Amino acid sequence: MKSVNWGIIGCGDVTEVKSGPAFHKVENSRLVAVMRRNGELAKDYAKRHHVPKWYNDADVLIADPEINAVYIATPPSSHKEYTIKAAKIGKPVYVEKPMATHYNDCLSMIEICQEKKVPLFVAYYRRTLPRFLKIKSLLEENVIGKIRTVNIFFYQSPSQKDLNGEKHWRVNPQIAGGGYFYDLASHMFDLLQYYLGDIEFAYGHHSNQMGLYEAEDTVSAIFTFTSGILGTGIWNFCAYDDLDRTEIVGDRGRITYATFANDPIILETKTYRKELSIAHPDHVQQPLIQTVVNDLLGKAKCPSTGITAAKTNRILDLILGKI
């Protein structure tokens, strides 16, 4: 493979700015085709993003001989199906997060890709963003000493869409795997495992307090890393206001950061307090996509694979009592 020729399955909102344009901008990469079940929407996307081909059938896109890598940007319930189809004809896969609706599906995706010797990557793009790499470097430099605990606080007020009773896939467990917790906490746990190693044990409680949709809207959890670090978390999607705060506490200080908001990173010790503001690139998936391309071309390794991403699905499923 001298260059990576991408086909996108599911060109919805996530591909408009976060990922889609990056496939043209990454070195040794180009976007060849897109697919959406509504052909007119696929055609419109292709025209606006200067993509040569469009399809309304995923099987046709996967079979296109010009395409040598597939980006699956559909809701999680179809990730396994499309991954298997691409892997069976030897095409590498880059799939959106969460990796699947169930941990067992993640294992099936890994198994078929290993059997067919096909690389499998997952879009946990925060692993390559400068903001979060700065936190990783602070931890590696032992700035806050030996890590003792992690605490996650995430509150979000209901959207008008949910208050109006509008049905959408992110709060349909059959399509999304869970609700907003499954969608958003996946990024949080992936980052923490990137920073601090695997989470060995997790347990949680969940409820639907407002009854706006089928999925859970409130979750609490405790978790333990293999290193012995302890963690707690609370996610409330029916709060009066929004809060996005994760704190990593060491024996000499604390790092506090937002996973989704652009709030400054706060570094605190007994002697000083420092705020670090680091902007995101225009297309937040571009740095990770570059590592995927580099990996496929044999130049470097991508930090977010099916194996790393499946570990996050396992944690989500343990907390929600799915396994």
The pLDDT tens digits of the residues spanning 199-230 come to: 999 999 999 999 999 999 999 999 999 999 99
Q: What is the CATH number of the domain that holds 37?
A: 3.40.50.720
Judge whether 215 and 171 are in contact, CB under 8 Å: yes
Looking at the structure, tell me whether residues 67 and 104 fall in a common domain: yes
Number of separate domains in the chain? 2
Looking at the structure, tell me whether residues 115 and 135 fall in a common domain: no
Looking at the structure, tell me whether residues 100 and 140 fall in a common domain: no
Is it the case that residue 57 has pLDDT exceeding 90?
Answer: yes
| pLDDT value at residue 299 | 97
295 is a domain residue: yes
Sign of CA dihedral 82, 85, 88, 93: negative
74 is a domain residue: yes
**How many residues are recorded in the chain?**
323
Looking at the structure, tell me whether residues 139 and 254 fall in a common domain: yes
| CA pair distance 94, 83, nearest whole angstrom | 9
135 is a domain residue: yes
Looking at the structure, tell me whether residues 151 and 224 fall in a common domain: yes
| CA pair distance 42, 274, nearest whole angstrom | 47
Q: Could you write out the DSSP letters of every residue in 196-222?
A: H--EEEEEEEEE-SS-SSSS-SEEEEE
226-276 pLDDT, tens digit per residue, is 999 999 999 999 999 999 999 999 999 999 999 999 999 999 999 999 999
323 is a domain residue: no
218 is a domain residue: yes
Looking at the structure, tell me whether residues 118 and 142 fall in a common domain: no
Judge whether 94 and 292 are in contact, CB under 8 Å: yes
What percent of the chain stands above pLDDT 70?
A: 100
* pTM listed for this prediction: 0.97
4-56 pLDDT, tens digit per residue, is 999 999 999 999 999 999 999 999 999 999 999 999 999 999 999 999 999 99
Residue 231 structure tokens:
């963690």
What percent of the chain stands above pLDDT 90?
A: 99
Closest CA to 147 of 208, 88, 94, 196: 196
**Residues with Cβ within 8 Å of residue 275, at least 6 apart in sequence:** 264, 265, 266, 267
Looking at the structure, tell me whether residues 69 and 208 fall in a common domain: no
Is it the case that residue 89 has pLDDT exceeding 90?
Answer: yes
Is it the case that residue 79 has pLDDT exceeding 90?
Answer: yes
**Residues with Cβ within 8 Å of residue 222, at least 6 apart in sequence:** 202, 203, 204, 230, 231, 232, 233
Is it the case that residue 298 has pLDDT exceeding 90?
Answer: yes
What's the average model confidence in pLDDT over 49-64? 98
| pLDDT value at residue 185 | 98
| pLDDT value at residue 1 | 81
Phi then psi dihedrals of residue 187, to 5 deg: -60, -40
273-276 vs 53-55, strand pairing mode: unpaired
159-183 pLDDT, tens digit per residue, is 999 999 999 999 999 999 999 999 9
Looking at the structure, tell me whether residues 155 and 58 fall in a common domain: no
Q: What is the CATH number of the domain that holds 188?
A: 3.30.360.10
What's the average model confidence in pLDDT over 92-109? 98
**Helix residue spans in the chain (DSSP H):** 13-16, 22-25, 39-48, 58-63, 79-88, 103-115, 130-140, 160-163, 173-176, 180, 186-196, 286-296, 306-319
Closest CA to 45 of 90, 76, 7, 77: 7
Closest CA to 34 of 1, 57, 3, 18: 57
86 is a domain residue: yes
Looking at the structure, tell me whether residues 142 and 258 fall in a common domain: yes
**Residues with Cβ within 8 Å of residue 249, at least 6 apart in sequence:** 144, 147, 148, 149, 150, 151
Residue 93 structure tokens:
């896969």
150 is a domain residue: yes
Judge whether 40 and 64 are in contact, CB under 8 Å: no
| CA pair distance 171, 161, nearest whole angstrom | 11
Q: What is the mean pLDDT of the chain?
A: 97
Domain enclosing residue 55, as ranges:
4-124+284-304
Q: What residue type is 288 in one-letter code?
A: L
Looking at the structure, tell me whether residues 140 and 100 fall in a common domain: no
| pLDDT value at residue 124 | 98
Looking at the structure, tell me whether residues 160 and 79 fall in a common domain: no
105 is a domain residue: yes
| CA pair distance 66, 68, nearest whole angstrom | 6
Looking at the structure, tell me whether residues 118 and 242 fall in a common domain: no
Residue 112 structure tokens:
């078929």
